[in-house]
Structure 1
């Protein structure tokens, strides 16, 4: 077992830019694709991830100081520090649950595929840390590592079902055919967006408001393009932060560049994935008649580049800081994870079908709720960090994050475990019920596909 854990620890330490090309290449060969095509596909995916990381790094590097200056300018002081997703992932992987999460989740994915309870082959194994984080917090609550591991597994099952359910929207709205997004943070917001969307549909007048990026681009021409929208939003953030005019312009142009470059890096990823996706579909269709369509599960970074996702996120960054100050009960100072707000919207965007007004309403709701969730989970995250020997910012300080400290699904699973095995039983019933409903949908879809082919 120690050798197995050491092997997966090496994979984990490689990070997604190295790990994903290797996995994609091996996966392609296993599915029957040519070795040369598989190698090229893997390397192209790796280059796409490097490009995405560079652009996202530019986003974080430039937004971070602006947010910090904004906080100092308005004298904002809150007691819980947002340490960001890299620290959160490190805490998750350093936990006992995190040490075994990769092999366990691979087994769970295989079982779900064999039982027709998912259509997703989740190759994004580095992001299994989201499930490990839930498990680490449950282990703190219950005092049981076994309970933590069970919670992590159930979290994955629920996310895999959500990924299947939203895959058609990912294909249609985000332009990512054959891809699903079983991302523990991103997928958690899709059910909330569905509920909010239905509530808006019941309100006369409000339901007719549609701020559509594609329509805006046609109406305003060049002024509706992502490059100018990003530049304008960057300038506004710079002004709110109190930057000098030169720095305001630099921030604006950088944000405009981010809105242009992220979609192009995502398209490079898709170029690498298409032959693997085709090979997977052919492999499944030949060997299994009741599987329906098969999706490659990826990091939601591939969908961040949608103009609506980025535009609404840039609007919400200063708004989140403002909400943190005025929201009763909040103790979290949002900072390090403000740059991950776009990840919240990757699946919200398909649910609202590109409607900017509805996306903005969703954003205000999930971020306000997320700040309160992050406040509530801060003591548990702090204890999990201490258990993982994470270096705390200062003695007595509590930490949290937007990703995954503000995750509503993580919060629900953790808080249900306040009731011990009864709470875990409720989570298990929900996860199994969703998996069985998904199985029925998959089999029905497969029959319809088979009939259409005949």
Structure 2
């Protein structure tokens, strides 16, 4: 576990370049191209993390102020995904999980059950969370491992299914997202999208960053949209003029810089993807293979960030009105763009459709987060984590998705 924690402690910005360098070498890209691609990917991912940190640090104070103004009295503390990932990796079987998931992926690739090779090792913690939650509620490590393995299989299958949206909408050929934060509500989003396509009136509603830009000129540009959304959030939080302006510029920066960071990441990924396609063409008669990555690479799309930011005040309002919710959304509000990225892609960038579906999804997220909080609290205590002052239960938005909830509830029935 100490070795595992040291490797994981390197973070995705270090792990991903190393993994991609080794992968590119295996695919025959050559040392120079592989090394350059790995470093470029690391730089791009570092840039993305810097922008996400800016988003988190800016949204935090605004979300606290908004919840105070609404008078929310909720008892479950949202500790955020970074803390929950550390707790998940502390699961007793976490060290075994990584090789198990890699073997599952290799077997499925060999049997042509998936086209995705999941190199996003850091986010294996999402599978570990499911295993740890099952163990916390049932007491069974074995069933926890089974649940985590099933989650890995589902992630690969859904990554294949959604790859066409990633390629067509985000312009990322050969890339898929075996990332449960993005995939977790696909069993609900797919039928919802189908239903909305067939409701007269609603199926005609359409607004994308491009159409907004054409209609409103400069006010439709991503950075100006960021200023408007940031100012709106600041006003809802009751900030003074200076704080509103700072938040507006911060959100404009996120909207403007994020696409450039993703472009750097893609500059490193393209040679690796091309080498993989050439390798598969030579060795497996043109068989297609997808590289499974963190959904963070989708955040360069303006509509994803726009929908994600607009969902922040909506989620806080939902926390107040959704029956049964006891979670105070805070630390994981910056995760919302990850949750809505595939919703936006499947809606073809339609901001209106994306907001409607995302509102339904986030209402359910709050219910699931409340329901999973007892298990997460047991996980934290087992890991020796001290709860925040005054907190009796902890939770997070990131793991409160449909697939995770169903797997935890089902496999917790077994002892």
1:64 aligns with 2:57: no
Q: How does 1:425-436 map to 2 (within 5 A)?
A: none
Corresponding residue for residue 243 of structure 1 = 239
- Once the two structures are superposed, the pairs formed by residues 51-450 of structure 1 within 5 Å of their partners are 51-289=47-285, 292-394=287-389, 397-404=392-399, 406-420=400-414
Measured after TM superposition, the shift of residue 253 of structure 1 is 1.1
Q: Distance in 1 between matches of 2:366 and 2:355?
A: 16
Instruction: Give yes or no for contact 1:189–1:347 (8 Å, CA) kept in 2.
Output: no
8 Å contact from structure 1 (residues 98, 133) kept in 2: no
2:45, 2:380 → 1: CA distance? 28
State whether residues 98 and 132 of structure 1, in contact with CA within 8 Å, keep that contact through their aligned partners in structure 2. yes
State how far apart, in whole Å, the 2-side matches of 1:418 and 1:295 are: 33
**3-state SS of the aligned residue for 1:81?**
strand
Local SS of the residue matching 1:33:
coil
Deviates more, 1:360-369 or 1:186-195: 186-195
C-alpha displacement of 1:50: 0.7
RMSD between aligned alpha carbons? 1.4
1:10 deviates by 2.9
For the residue of structure 2 that corresponds to 1:354, the secondary structure is: coil
For residues 328 and 9 of structure 2, the distance between their equivalents in structure 1, rounded to whole angstroms, comes to: 29
User: Deviations 1:146-189 (Å, cap 9, x if unpaired)?
Assistant: 11011001001001111111111101111222110111211112
| Structure 2: tracts of 5 or more residues without a match | none
Distance 1:306 1:65 in 2: 25
Contact 2:44-2:262 at 8 Å conserved across structures: yes
How many angstroms apart in 1 are the aligned matches of 2:32 and 2:218?
41
Q: Which blocks of at least 5 consecutive residues in structure 1 are unaligned?
A: 422-454
Are the equivalent residues in 2 in contact too, given 1:185–1:343 (CA < 8 A)?
yes
Measure how far apart 1:24 and its partner are: 0.9
Alignment partners' CA distance in 2, 1:178 and 1:320: 33
**Matched residues in 2 for 1:39 and 1:393: separation?**
43
Q: Deviations over 1:305-359 (max 9, x none)?
A: 2111111111110111111112111100000000110001111112111111110
Q: Which of 33, 36, 58 is the aligned partner of 1:37? A: 33
Moved over 4 A (4+): none
TM-score normalised per structure 1: 0.89
> Aligned-pair distance for 1:137?
0.8
The CA distance in 2 between the partners of 1:111 and 1:15, in whole Å, is 27
CA apart distance, 1:107: 1.3
Counterpart-to-counterpart distance in 2, 1:419 and 1:298: 32
| Structure 1 SS opposite 2:394 | strand
Distance in structure 2 (CA, Å) of the matches to 1:101 and 1:225: 44
**For the residues of structure 2 that align with 1:42 and 1:352, how far apart are their CA atoms?**
32
Task: Give, in whole Å, the separation in 1 of the partners of 2:50 and 2:8.
Answer: 20
User: In structure 2, what is the Cα distance between the partners aligned to 1:419 and 1:17?
Assistant: 38
Alignment check: 8 A CA contact 1:91 1:388 kept: yes
